[in-house]
Amino acid sequence: MIILFTEKMLYLQEMKVTSSDLLAILRRFNVADDTNVPRQIDQVKQTHPSAINQLVQFRFNRQHFFVLFDETAEDSASYIMQQIYTAKSDAEGVILENPTSDLTTYGLPFKGKDAYLFQLTSDKKRLDILLAERHPEISRSTWQKHIKAGHVAVNNAPAKNTKQEVTDADHIAINIPDSTDFSAHELPIIYLDDDVIVVNKPAGVLTHSKGALNDEFTVAEFFCRYTTVGLDTNRPGIVHRLDRDTSGVIIGARTPESFDLLKSQFADRKAKKYYVAITDGTPKQMEATIDIPIGRNPSAPSTFRADSKGKAAVTDYEVLDIQNGKSLLALHPHTGRTHQLRVHLQHLGTPITGDRVYGKTSDRLYLHAYKLELTTAPGSRQTFIAPVPESFQKFFPEVYNDVADT
């Protein structure tokens, strides 16, 4: 007979046992402490393996336990498990030893009986954890993405979610599509030597993937052919980045030594970056420095905003030309905050043309990394220029001459 208790009160023969009593037993076995309360005990069930003992099953802090109250003083693991099996034939777990006495191994006295505590364990695991254990070469976060993408099936059915519980007995099938071959894809190379590679990134191309399953051509994918650095990551050779919608100069490291040299220059702000942009409207000042901190926008965490409590962000700008309500600007950021130029120009009331996040959508984001100056090897300071895209001529036909003079 099984009785389900909703008021958390049990009657063991002539002994009344409450959730407070169960908690007291947990405390004596050092499973609970004074910070725990009776309401943390739920899912209480009582069974009667025999006339001389009673078994209580319950849950505490999401873990399942059995307490065996017995009068036989059979302090043996085999006897205790025989009683447990009457309630759960496939029970797996551990009988907790009595921490308070050397006279018994497992039982401790409780209201005239011996109380034995059994903690139920399960061979069930979350699907993503099991996959990460079986295939340690692939991260757990990557497995989560494969599960969400429908690449994993459990017992011939698509996995429900990353938290689905499975066991070693479950049949888990993995069907990860082959990656696209990007070997025929090219990027315009501006400069190449034994230390660095410099390319002109088109708008719309990611600098590097955001992790697994980003099956698209990236700058990092192209750099793989030319670098020995970070080949086991999604950022081989990458020392800085441009937003997907920003075009222009981007440099990569070909050796570990050049990687450290280049990376340190961006971190220490010794790499000089110059951009050209077209804005909707014209700033009030034709030339100025924008010194406004930038912080993450709490209402849209993937975006940023001017924030007095944010990180320091400094940008020099100069208006080169004005035509038909739009302005051509030369920009020189002294810091490298995410979306810095876009946020600064939005703050001035002149968002970059085509900025779908901070302005209005157009055929592209009219922001181009025009020039990059830095040291590529000890004693070798170089400047690299990516010609302004022809699309800019739609608004400013003389854009090439204007920028070349800055």
Instruction: Show me where the domains of the chain are located.
Output: 3-121, 125-174, 183-261, 269-406
Q: For 4-17, what is the mean pLDDT?
A: 49
Instruction: Name the nearest CA neighbour of 60 among 31, 89, 87.
Output: 31
> Rounded distance, CA 234 to CA 211, Å?
7
**Domain 269-406, what architecture?**
2-Layer Sandwich (3.30)
Residues 6+ apart with CB under 8 A from 159: 127, 147, 150, 152, 153
Instruction: Tell me the one-letter amino acid at 201.
Output: K
Instruction: Tell me the one-letter amino acid at 283.
Output: P
Check: pTM over 0.75? Answer yes or no: no
> Rounded distance, CA 354 to CA 292, Å?
23
> Rounded distance, CA 221 to CA 182, Å?
8
Q: Give CATH superfamily name and number for 183-261.
A: Pseudouridine synthase (3.30.2350.10)
Q: How many residues does the chain have?
A: 406
Higher confidence at residue 209 or residue 289? 289
Residues 6+ apart with CB under 8 A from 298: none
pLDDT of residue 86 exceeding 70: yes
The predicted structure's pLDDT at residue 12: 43
> What percentage of the chain reaches a pLDDT higher than 70?
93
Residue with the two structure tokens 């590097």: 208
Per annotation, catalytic residue among 243, 245, 280, 355: 243
Asked whether the domain spanning 269-406 has the same topology as the one spanning 125-174, the reply is no
The predicted structure's pLDDT at residue 91: 85
Helices (H) and strands (E) in the chain, counts: 8, 25
**Averaged pLDDT of the chain:** 89
Specify whether the CB–CB gap between 371 and 384 falls below 8 A.
Answer: yes
Residue 363: active-site member: no
Specify whether the CB–CB gap between 394 and 364 falls below 8 A.
Answer: no
The 10s digit of each residue's pLDDT in 51-67 is 778 899 998 987 889 99
The predicted structure's pLDDT at residue 141: 82
Q: What do you get for the CA distance between the two ends of the chain, in Å?
A: 89
Q: For 255-284, what is the mean pLDDT?
A: 97
Most confident of 65-79, 162-176, 306-320: 306-320
Specify whether the CB–CB gap between 248 and 242 falls below 8 A.
Answer: yes
CATH 3.40.1160.10 assigned to domain 125-174? The reply is no
